[in-house]
Each structure stands twice: as C-alpha cells, then as structure tokens.
C-alpha cells in the first residue's frame, strides 16, 4: 500500500477529493477516507520533500518471474523466491529465437547461445585507423557509448528507495537497494575485460554524403576471461552503426545486476536506402535543445541518419540570425523560445556522434509570416506579401499568411546569409532543403501580373538555388530538395540539381510524373509516415487534422515503392524516406511518445526493407524490446500493448 499512500498524499496536498473504487467489494464495510488521510498526511512532508524523480525512467526489476525458452518463445513462470536459478525476461529474450536487435541486419548474423556477464568498467577501446580525425571522433563516440552503457547498467541512478520510509515494504526495498547499489561492491562478472577494436582504413571523410559507405562487419570471440569485439568498416559512419548494433547486443540482467552479451557473434550489415530521415517541425511548437538531442540519440540507435530540422514556418521564426536578428525579434514566440548559432552547432556536433546529419530548412517562399514584415522600416522594401491577410484560407494553408516577395533582391540576400550561417554550423553537405511548398498563386496575383503565375515560383526557386550556391562557396550541393506540390510538376526545375520530397500520397499521379521527369525522390507523404495524424481537428472550420492515427504496424508495413509497382530504373531514383512530425498538436511533453517507437518502424523499413506482408510475432517481440531499450536511455517511448503482453511474447497477437 506504500505506493497508494504516496499517490493519495499528493492529491491531498493539492486539495483534490479522492474516491477509491474497486471492481468488487474487498471489505464488508466501507473504509472512510480519513483512515487514509491521517497516515498519508503524516507521511506527506517527508516523502514529498525527499523524493527525487529521475529524468530517465529505467525499466524496473521483475523478480517475481522467471522465463524459459520453448519453441523460440519465452514463457513466463512464477518464481516468488524459489531456490532454483532465475532467468530474467531480457536474458531469455536475447537467447531465445531470432536475433533481437532493431533494425534487423540485412546480410548475415550468427549468435552463440552462450553468454557472458561483465560490468561497464571492463569495456575498453582500441581504434585502428590511419585517419587522425576519424580516431578523434571515434574516441568521442566511445565515451558516449560508455555513458549509455552506464545508464543501462543503472550505475548513475540515485538510491530513490532509501529516501522513502513510509512503510515496511518501502523500507525493505530501500535496504535491498542500498545493499546492492551502495553497500557492497559490484561483482565484475565472468569477463575481466571487453576489448572493442574499431577498424576504419578506407575513408577518412567525416562529412555527410549520400555516398557514405555505411556498411560494417562485427565479430566477437571469447579468449579466456576476455571478450574480443571487432568492428570493421570502410568509413566512420559504418563504424558508428556497428557500435549501435553492439549496444543492442548488450543487455542488463536484473538478477545479477550486470551487463550480458554473447560469447561469440558475427554480423554483416548494410542499409537498403541511403536517406533514412526524421523531420521535426520546431516552428508550430518550440522544442528545447535537450528534447532534440533525445530524438537524435534514439535515431542513432535505430540507424536513422538524417535529422530534417524544419526550423521555421509562418507561425514562428525561432532562429536568431547573426546577420538578421530582426527575423527572430518579429517572429519568435518569446525570447526564451529561440535557437542561437551555438545551439544549432551543438545539435549538429551531437548528432554526428550518433551518425546523424542535421539538415536545416528555412521554408520559402510560402510559410513565412510576421518574421519578415520589418523590411520597410529598414529600407529594404516589402520582403513579404499577403502578411496576415484574411480570409487566410484564400492566401495560405494555415494562419498567419505570408509569402516572400519574389521581385525584391533583398529577399534573396537574406536567404543567402541564412543559408551561409546554417551551412557553417552544420558542416559541408551534398544535400540541402529549400522548402518550396504550399505557394498560393492568388497571393502573388494581387501584386504581379504574369501570363503564367507558376513561372514566378519557378523563378523564385532558381534564384534561391543561386543564393545557396553563393552561400556554399560557389558550389551547389548535389541534391537540392524541395517539397512536392502542384508546382513541382511544371518541370521547370532541372532534375540534375533538384530532388523532390513527396508530401502527398504514394499513389498520386504526380509521384509517377516526377519519376518520369527524372527527379530523385524522398518519400514521406500524408500516409503512414505522418505521425501527427489521428488526434482530431485543432480548429472549428476547415481541415485542421489528418486521420486516422498511424499505428506502428501501419508505419512498419508501408512500402510506397511496392504500392507504386516501380521497376528497377525508377527505384534507383528513390533516395529513401522520412518520417514526419508536424507539431500543430505536439509540444515538448508529447514529443518522445509521439515519435517512439513508431519512428523505428520507418527505420527498419529503410534499413532492412523486409518483404513480409504481415507483421510477424517476431517483429512484435523485437520492437517491444527496442522500445524498452529506449526507455532505459530516458526516452519516454509510447507503450505498444499491455505489459502482460510484453512479458508473455506472442500470447496477445
């Protein structure tokens, strides 16, 4: 009842009336609330002021149960203090049936049924490379790898239980935790050392490119009390993915409170698609740098490699430009809801540690609002047209309205400076996103008379490309991406320089037309890979939401290239895909569970691209374990099904 008392005490402190309801009577006479009130209130101050809540949510120990492997499935058996050796759920899962990592390896995997135990303190690194910068980067990566392992082994958590003294039960738990976490030295396990050797001999390039070789080869072998792990890759990026796989070959066993891994393993792996993205809109709601880092950390574990940062939109311009701070002064929600140059650089450097490229997007020419309305006061003329014009549904997709002035040279100079800043902060790249969607021809038609108003958009995008080229030291990135719209099929943008991110359904005719016109494509769309859908309309009139909710199964099964029945020639034009999080109805507190673990479905689709028509029980088991791994690392991932189903794999399917 200790947990019940704690919850009751919080409600009582807040002045909330509490009623206790049971599915059936537990006593023959009612128990008055004051009998709980007295005890709860007396314990409130001690518990409330001393209880610390960790930002991470480690998986709890589950020592009531032991598990045994039967026909490739872990079966739960009551333990309750019995003398026979207990097998934890995770140890059973990792040694029963198919490999339990996410995404599934594409080429080869062999795992020994035998395992070893060790502590993170036994893990050490050796880098074999002739490239000094690669070695430095891998040393940084390995420090983060060890930090994650420490968190998985629960070495950094405070003894929260020792501070709760409200019942005999919590006191006993505190004593147990003090003994195992503080009062006695941890056993080292049966391995004295885990030596991780990373070999990168071919490429010393640390710049992101769609031509990066992301393949890797991982082996581990036991030599006495040493485990020798070797990750061989042709580039830093392949080596980084190998470390992500190694992290998933290691698990924490709550029976001996040690890390475990296989005595021997062999994995050969490479992605099916080069571009595996996740887009986050930070304009409709602001997200802290820490929230963005959590997202990127999960991306790295799932081997997603492109963080598309939809940095600005009509609703807000949170980026503080070095050259034009007026954009944020007029467009940010508040002074605290902004990103500095250092913030963007910090996110990009952090992302590289996880093998993720940051791709910032300043959406233009549409999706601009009040952030651009300061031009006349600074002698630059009108930078934007239709700003705040009503009725907004005639002039933009969402309020407030605004489109950049395509015939004001200052517009392109500002864009050039913005591109220059962002390229400096995120590093050299062969891919850049210009936005380009949702242009309302009716807005420009009020000011400019052209035989074909679509030509104004074409001219704008080509001029924006010229500005990007100047910002990038006279060289245009190999892939300049724009969102698809009814204007992209005008075929006015050269397919040798522009790629198109498809924002509509994979069965729309415009998608076939884009391929026929020779454009490279990135799939995202309003289908299963739009994770903002299914939460109802956020306004009373007009279309304010998409539906239905995209389950992780919908996300996972979506193969747009299969639905389109593309031949080999057209499929070569697919750079990859991207899961999108538009944030009209998503704030900081919802971000983790809206993204995860559903985004992992896209990760495996783009890395492995399995052919199965249905989601098998094996996939259910693997994504359930992956979700638990995210929670271990402090990511508040959405629950997939009742915990009973997680503890009894296959029973609920």
Determine the Cα–Cα distance for residues 457 and 648; give it in Å rounded to an integer.
Answer: 56
Q: What is the Cα–Cα distance from 198 to 236, expressed in whole angstroms?
A: 10
- Measured CA to CA, the distance from residue 28 to residue 381 in angstroms comes to 81
Chain position carrying tokens 């794999």: 649
pLDDT digits (tens, 9 = 90+) for 587-621: 999 999 999 999 999 999 999 999 988 899 999 99
Angle at 515 between CA 509 and CA 519, to 5 degrees: 130
pLDDT at 42 over 60: no
Measured in whole angstroms, the distance separating CA 256 from the mean position of its chain's CA atoms is: 31
Task: State residue 240's pLDDT score.
Answer: 98
Lowest mean pLDDT of 107-111, 330-334, 532-536, name the range: 532-536
Local structure of 422: helix, strand or coil: helix
Alpha-carbon distances, residue 182 vs 61, 159, 175, 235, 256 (angstroms): 17, 8, 10, 42, 15
Predicted pLDDT of residue 9: 58
- The fraction of the chain above a pLDDT of 90, given in percent, is 72
Q: pLDDT tens digits, residue range 413-463?
A: 999 999 999 999 999 999 999 999 999 999 999 999 888 888 999 999 999
| pLDDT reading at 502 higher than 90 | yes
Compute φ and ψ for 459, nearest 5 degrees.
Answer: -65, -40
Predicted confidence at residue 131, as pLDDT, reads 98
* pLDDT exceeds cutoff 70 at 574: yes
User: Alpha-carbon distance 198 to 201, whole Å?
Assistant: 10
Phi-psi region of 301 (alpha: psi -120 to 50; beta: other; left: phi over 0): alpha
Residues 623 and 103: their CA atoms lie apart, in Å, by 9
Of the candidate ranges 20-24, 177-181, 573-577, the one whose mean pLDDT is the lowest: 177-181
Query: Rounded to whole angstroms, how far apart are CA atoms 338 and 457?
Result: 30
89-144 pLDDT, tens digit each: 999 999 999 999 999 999 999 999 999 999 999 999 999 999 999 999 999 999 99
State whether residue 209 is helix, strand or coil: coil
- Strands, E, within 396-472: which ranges? 403-404, 431-435
Q: Report how far residue 252's alpha carbon sits from residue 261's, in angstroms, rounded to the nearest whole number.
A: 9
pLDDT of residue 182: 42
pLDDT at 63 over 90: no
In the DSSP assignment, the letter for residue 179 is: I
- What are the E-state strand segments in 99-191? 108-111, 115-118, 123-128
- Is-contact 218 266, C-beta < 8 A? yes
Residue that the structure tokens 């998933």 belong to: 248
As a residue count, the chain comes to 653
The continuous run of DSSP H or E covering 172 comes out as helix 168-178
Six token digits for residue 106:
């594409």
C-beta of residue 230 within 8 angstroms of C-beta of residue 264: no
Q: Is 69 helix (H, G, I), strand (E, B) or coil?
A: strand
Mean pLDDT of the chain: 88
Task: Report, as an integer, the average pLDDT of 83-91.
Answer: 87
Check: CB of residue 436 under 8 Å from CB of residue 461.
yes
Q: Give the pTM.
A: 0.88
């Amino acid at each position: 009842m200790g947990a019940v008392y704690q919850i009751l005490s919080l409600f009582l402190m807040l002045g909330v009336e509490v009623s206790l309801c049971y599915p059936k009577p537990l006593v023959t006479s009612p128990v008055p609330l004051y009998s709980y009130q007295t005890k709860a209130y007396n314990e409130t101050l001690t518990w409330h002021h001393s209880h610390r809540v960790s930002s991470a949510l480690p998986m709890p120990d589950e020592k009531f149960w032991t598990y045994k492997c039967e026909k490739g499935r872990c079966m739960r058996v009551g333990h309750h203090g019995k003398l026979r050796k207990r097998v934890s759920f995770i140890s059973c899962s990792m040694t029963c049936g198919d490999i339990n990592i996410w995404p599934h390896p594409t080429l080869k995997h062999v795992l020994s049924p035998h395992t070893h135990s060790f502590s993170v303190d036994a893990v050490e690194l050796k880098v074999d490379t002739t490239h000094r910068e690669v070695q430095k980067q891998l040393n940084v990566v390995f420090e983060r790898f060890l930090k994650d392992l420490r968190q998985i082994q629960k070495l950094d958590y405070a003894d929260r239980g020792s501070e709760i003294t409200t019942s005999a039960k919590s006191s006993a738990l505190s004593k147990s935790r003090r003994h195992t976490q503080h009062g006695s030295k941890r056993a080292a396990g049966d391995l004295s050392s885990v030596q991780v050797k990373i070999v990168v001999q071919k490429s010393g390039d640390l710049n992101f490119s769609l031509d990066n070789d992301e393949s890797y080869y991982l082996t581990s072998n036991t030599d006495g009390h040493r485990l020798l792990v070797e990750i061989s890759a042709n580039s830093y990026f392949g080596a980084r993915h190998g470390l992500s796989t190694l992290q998933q070959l290691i698990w924490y066993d709550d029976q001996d409170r040690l890390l475990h891994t296989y005595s021997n393993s062999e994995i050969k792996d490479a992605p099916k698609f080069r571009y595996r993205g996740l887009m986050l809109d930070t304009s409709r709601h602001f997200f802290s740098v820490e929230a963005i880092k959590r997202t990127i950390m999960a991306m790295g574990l799932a081997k997603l490699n492109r963080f598309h940062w939809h940095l600005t939109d009509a609703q807000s311009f949170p980026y503080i430009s070095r050259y034009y701070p007026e954009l944020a002064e007029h467009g940010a929600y508040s002074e605290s809801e902004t990103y500095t140059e250092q913030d963007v650089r910090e996110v990009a450097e952090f992302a590289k540690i996880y093998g993720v490229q940051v791709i910032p997007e300043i959406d233009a020419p549409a999706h601009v609002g009040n952030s651009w309305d300061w031009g006349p006061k600074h002698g630059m003329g009108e930078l934007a047209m239709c700003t705040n014009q009503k009725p907004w549904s005639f002039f933009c997709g969402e309020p407030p309205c605004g489109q950049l002035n395509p015939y004001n040279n200052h517009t392109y100079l500002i864009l050039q400076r913005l591109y220059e800043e962002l390229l400096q902060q995120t590093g050299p790249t062969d891919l850049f996103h210009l936005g380009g969607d949702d242009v309302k021809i009716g807005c420009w038609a009020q000011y400019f008379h052209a035989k074909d108003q679509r030509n104004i958009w074409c001219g704008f995008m080509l001029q924006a490309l010229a500005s990007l080229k100047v910002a990038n030291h006279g060289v245009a990135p190999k892939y300049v991406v724009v969102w698809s719209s009814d204007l992209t099929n005008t075929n006015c943008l050269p397919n040798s320089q522009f790629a198109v991110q498809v924002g509509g359904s994979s069965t729309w005719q415009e998608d076939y037309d884009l391929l026929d016109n020779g454009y490279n494509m990135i799939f995202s769309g309003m289908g299963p890979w739009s994770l903002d859908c299914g939460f109802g309309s956020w306004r009373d009139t007009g279309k304010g939401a998409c539906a239905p909710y995209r389950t992780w199964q919908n996300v996972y099964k979506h193969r747009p290239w299969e639905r389109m029945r593309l031949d080999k020639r057209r499929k070569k034009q697919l750079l990859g895909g991207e899961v999108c999080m538009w944030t009209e109805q998503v704030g900081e507190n919802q971000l983790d569970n809206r993204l995860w673990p559903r985004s992992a479905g896209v990760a495996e689709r783009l890395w492995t691209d399995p052919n199965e028509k249905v989601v098998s029980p094996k996939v259910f088991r693997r994504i359930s374990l992956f979700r638990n791994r995210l929670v271990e690392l402090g990511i508040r991932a959405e629950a997939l099904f009742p915990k009973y189903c997680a503890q009894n794999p296959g029973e609920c399917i």
